[in-house]
Amino acid sequence: MIKTLYMAPMLVYTDNTFREVYFRHFSGFDRAVAPFIVVAENSRYRKKSLQSLLPSLHEAIPVEPQILSKDPDACAALANLLEDAGFKSVNINMACPADAVVNKGRGSGFLPHPERVQDFLASVIPKIRLPLSVKVRTGLYSHREIEALIPVFNTFPLSEVIVHPRLGVDKYEGPVDLEAMKSVAATLKHPLVFSGDVSRRTWIDFSSSFKEVERWMIGRELLRDPFLPEDIRAYERGEADRLREIVPLNRERKNRLRDYHDDLLDTLGKKINRQEALVGKMKSYWQYLEALFPGREAEMEEMKRILHLDEYNIWVNKLFKE
């Protein structure tokens, strides 16, 4: 079965600028879901703020925008704006575990309440024309929650359901729950997208345990290991050694990583005026990318103290030279 690979939505990280740069340097993804847009009260969006959140229609692969809301009218209004802007489908976030989101009953705050999910979808779906997908965790407090949600999802015409098999209260800690995912795969009538801990170490195990799953989403590991999607593709085509460990990076990959890094810095630099903010943004990517530089912990610590761009550039040159 040919696998479809999705770039995960990651607020702050996989925004328009990141995707634009990433796709100039790496291949392998078929689709992306953009980080969530919070619905505005009265559906009044400042054009500029919406533009910065919206995926571009001209990206290298189709990008699905995502909405975070518990208000069906506001959600439908935004979905219709997105349709007018040219998008072909939209995703609802019922997965975000942030306390500020959950406490308002949004994101994974929906999950313990199948009746709220039912009412929400029953209200939104007739008001919109775009195909709708949802992204969920397997529960907020218990994996049993998903068992009550699947029959609800099965009654609506959803285009797909993206499932991250962790609990909201666990945030991003601990292993994914493959048993919970098995029960979803066995009962969900819609196409299932697997999201959670997909990496070069887990791919063989996950994809052989879930042979029936065609759609796979990659999140944090794409920030740590941007070569991963193209290596999964190559592996699936029969190049068995492409999933082997890639650190320390060989020269060719180190050069590609450097080009990607420089392009990201340059492209972000055109959008972020303050030097400290630009350096801060690059540091946030290094929280993940440092995985490609084992044994360089001291330099990573040093980088955390850097504030100015000239110092940052010296640091990067040194890191890549050695």
Ligand X SMILES: Cc1cc2nc3c(=O)[nH]c(=O)nc-3n(C[C@H](O)[C@H](O)[C@H](O)COP(=O)(O)O)c2cc1C
Judged by the rule CB under 6 A, the positions of this chain that interact with ligand X are 8-13, 35-36, 66, 93, 95, 135, 164, 172, 195-198, 218-221
Q: Which is nearer to ligand X, 160 or 197 (CB)?
A: 197
What residue type is 170 in one-letter code?
D
Nearest-CA neighbor of 132 among 201, 82, 168? 82
The reply to whether 254 sits in an annotated binding site is no
Respond yes or no on whether the N-terminal peptide bond of residue 72 is cis (omega within 30° of 0).
no
Give CA–CA dist 105/16, Å, rounded: 28
Q: How far is the CB of 176 from ligand X (least distance, A)?
A: 7
How far from 235 is each of 107, 216, 228, 244, 321, CA to CA, in Å?
Answer: 35, 15, 10, 10, 30
How far is residue 261's CA from residue 295's CA, in Å, rounded to a whole number? 20
Task: For residue 220, say whether it is annotated as part of any ligand binding site.
Answer: yes
- Alpha-carbon span 30 to 284, nearest angstrom: 25
| Alpha-carbon gap, residue 293 to 286, rounded angstroms | 10
Q: Minimum CB separation from ligand X for residue 317, in Å?
A: 28
Compute the least distance from the CB of residue 59 to ligand X, in Å: 17
CB nearer to ligand X: give 166 or 319: 166
Maximum C-alpha span of the chain: 59
Spatial distance between the Cα atoms of 140 and 163, rounded to a whole number of angstroms: 13
Quote the least distance from Cβ 206 to ligand X, whole Å: 11
Of residues 78, 96, 167, 198, which has the active-site annotation?
Answer: 96
Nearest to 212 by CA among 185, 237, 231: 185
- CA dist 9 and 218 (Å) reads 9
List phi, psi (to 5°) of 123: -85, -40
Our answer to whether residue 75 is catalytic in this structure is no
Q: How far is the CB of 190 from ligand X (least distance, A)?
A: 17
**164 a known binding residue?**
yes
Which one, 9 or 112, has the nearer CB to ligand X?
9
* Chain residue at closest Cβ approach to ligand X: 219
Which residues, in sequence order, are bridge partners of residue 136? Answer: 94, 163
> Backbone dihedral region of 313: left (phi > 0), alpha (psi from -120 to 50 degrees) or beta?
alpha
47 is in an annotated binding site: no
| Cβ-based nearer residue to ligand X, 179 or 259 | 179
Q: Which is nearer to ligand X, 150 or 218 (CB)?
A: 218
Annotated binding site for FMN: 66, 135, 164, 219-220
Residues annotated as catalytic (active site), given as ranges = 96
